[in-house]
Amino acid sequence: MTMIRTKRSLMAVCALPLLFVLATLPATAQESLGLKAILKQALEHNTQVRKAAMDQDAARYKVNETRAEGLPQISAQADLNYYPSIATQILPGEIIGQPGTQVPVQFGTKYNATLGGKVTQMLYDQRFLTGLQAARRSAELYEMLQLQTEEQVIHEVASAYYQVLDLEAQQASVDSQLVRMVELERITTLQVENQFKRKLDLQRVQVNRQNATTKRDGYALNVEQQVNYLKLLMGMPASAELVLAHPANMGIGAPVISGDALSAQRTDIKILQQQIELQDLNIRSIRAGYMPTLSAFGALNYQAQRNEFNFFDQGQNWFPNSVIGGTLAVPLFDGFRKHSQIAQQKVALLQYEADLEYTTNALAVEERNAIAALDNSWRTVEAQASNLVLAQDVYSQTNSLYSEGIAPLTDLLDADQALSDSRTAYHSATLKYKLAELDLLKAQGGLNTLTR
């Protein structure tokens, strides 16, 4: 029965502000956007989400870059050398039958040209294989980082959306109070003119009306600022028009809380686990430096030597030379450099594991606290809803008594202020409930369900 009364109270207390908001909308208003549409817009155009997608693209290009090291490396080269004076070598005279003398001889020609190409192919390098595996895991890490960014944007956008709804409901509540004050001021003015009321009574009504006007203007400014912030999160121009859909009572319902701990599903945990795997691959990559490497190569060159620049004459010869071979490199001793590098990376691995342990415990605590906060917020909403119904009844009865001349103006103004305060407290409670609901979804890794 308590739940039924609470639901009826929630429907009753949100009816007047909602009707007032709908009544003030123009007939040709722009189509309003609900939370799902807003989140879709944000995930497509938010700057942080787009940058995360760019990081993911860069990670895929990095995989291709790493893979390229294992593909054949082909290069071409052309050299042209001109010797204004050819180097002279001293030969013993015995070569030409002049023993005991030294003969200066110039070898070569003034123009030398070489054209050639070279192909190198890696046959085995454990560092390359491990590096390629690490690059692929790194690309997967950036996918998770993009998901984490999307979750952060979802939480921020949903929070801003609910805050706008709360501010608009607060503004509508003050608007309804202002309507009452304007009408009361009109009636009191007539009563003062007919000497049924004192001028002091009119002044008190005018003070309350002015206070309501000031409060309403403050809410209007806050709404405009919060809507502009929501546009920024959605990637919309500040000059664009944004109209929000208003779900009945902000879509509040009794919380349904799973008893299973779901913090292990958080993207934060998966990111840390992926970082631990990458760190392990980094250690394996350094250790692979102890392994030998094997590669093959081949080169083909054509060379020409001329005393005149006539390399393009078809009658002149170009002399080929080629080579095919392989290279086996075996590391023997590096002064314990890799040993020290591995030790450093193992320390970093232990730090990641400590972070994972702490984060797992912290997220479990966050989930438990979010469950407790949501349950407490629901009880507060129930209490404020009942309190608001009572405040409406008190105001209605006081207004009737005042109209009959039984209750003084002070009682009516106090009842009106109590009604306004009750509405403010109720709307604040609903906002806290929705934010607590968001926090629980975040703690359980379920923020993406808001987009479905």
Model confidence over 234-255: pLDDT tens digits?
A: 999 999 999 998 887 777 777 7
The three-class DSSP label of residue 66 is helix
Number of domains in the chain: 2
Cβ atoms < 10 Å from Cβ of 235: 17
User: In this structure, are 133 and 247 located in the same domain?
Assistant: yes
pLDDT at position 310 = 82
Q: Vertex 186, ends 181 and 192: CA angle to 5°?
A: 115
Verify that 234 and 117 share a domain, yes or no. Answer: no
What is the torsional sign of CA 123, 128, 134, 138? negative
In a domain, 444, yes or no: yes
Identify the H or E element spanning 415: helix 409-443
Residues 243 and 306 both lie in one domain: no
Q: Is pLDDT larger for residue 192 or for residue 323?
A: 323
Residue 284 sits in the same domain as residue 400: yes
Q: Which residue would you say has higher pLDDT here, 253 or 399?
A: 399
- pLDDT tens by residue, 341-351: 999 999 999 99
Same domain (yes/no): 142, 58: yes
In sequence order, what DSSP letters do the residues of 129-162 get, joined into one string?
Answer: HHHHHHHHHHHHHHHHHHHHHHHHHHHHHHHHHH
Asked if 345 and 416 sit in the same domain, the reply is yes
Q: β-strands 111-124, 73-82: how paired?
A: antiparallel
Tell me, yes or no, whether 226 lies in a domain.
yes
Do both 106 and 145 map to the same domain? no
Q: Is residue 197 domain-resident? A: no
In-domain check, residue 419: yes
Same domain membership, residue 415 and residue 307: no
Query: Within a domain: residue 199?
Result: no
State the pLDDT at residue 197: 79
CB of 156 closer than 8 Å to CB of 49: no
Considering only 104-108, 141-145, 393-397, which range has the smallest mean pLDDT?
104-108
- Among 444, 441, 143, smallest CA distance to 265 is for 444
SS3 294: strand
User: 19 in a domain, yes or no?
Assistant: yes
Q: Contact 124/294 with Cβ under 8 angstroms?
A: yes
The whole-angstrom separation of Cα 341 and Cα 310 is 57
Asked if residue 198 belongs to a domain, the reply is no
- Averaged pLDDT of the chain: 87
Among 260-269, 327-336, 363-372, 378-387, the range scoring the smallest mean pLDDT is 260-269
Q: At what angle do helices 126-193 and 267-287 cross, to 10 degrees?
A: 160
105 secondary structure, DSSP code: E
- Distance CA(391)–CA(131), nearest Å, equals 69
Label residue 6 by pLDDT band (50, 70, 90): very low
- In this prediction, residue 284 carries a pLDDT of 95
- From the list 241, 199, 205, 247, the residue with the least C-alpha distance to 224 is 241
Per residue in 87-107, pLDDT tens? 888 888 878 777 888 888 878
CATH code, domain with 60: 1.20.1600.10
Taking the CA atoms of residue 214, residue 216, residue 218 and residue 223 in that order, the dihedral angle to the nearest 10 degrees is -170
Residues 267 and 277 occupy one common structural domain:
yes
Mean pLDDT lowest among 12-16, 60-64, 96-100:
12-16
**Domain-embedded: residue 383:** yes
d(CA 158, CA 251): 13
In this structure, the answer to whether residues 107 and 131 fall within a common structural domain is no
**Across 15-19, 36-40, 325-329, 334-338, least confident range:** 15-19
- Of 164 and 312, the structure prediction assigns the larger pLDDT to 164
**pLDDT (0 to 100) of residue 64:** 95
Q: How many helices (H) and strands (E) does the chain have?
A: 8, 6
364, 422: one domain: yes
Largest CA distance in the chain: 149
> What residues make up the domain containing 97?
76-124+295-330
Beta bridge partners of residue 103, listed in sequence order: 91
Q: Are residues 385 and 440 in the same domain?
A: yes
**Is 7 a residue whose pLDDT tops 50?**
no
Which of 45-54, 176-185, 204-213, 260-269: highest mean pLDDT?
Answer: 45-54
CB 299 within 8 A of CB 280: no
Counted residue by residue, the chain has a size of 452
Question: Which of the four pLDDT bands, split at 50, 70 and 90, describes residue 264?
Answer: low
Between CA 340 and CA 347 the distance in angstroms is 11
pLDDT on residue 3: 38
Residue 308 has pLDDT above 50, yes or no: yes
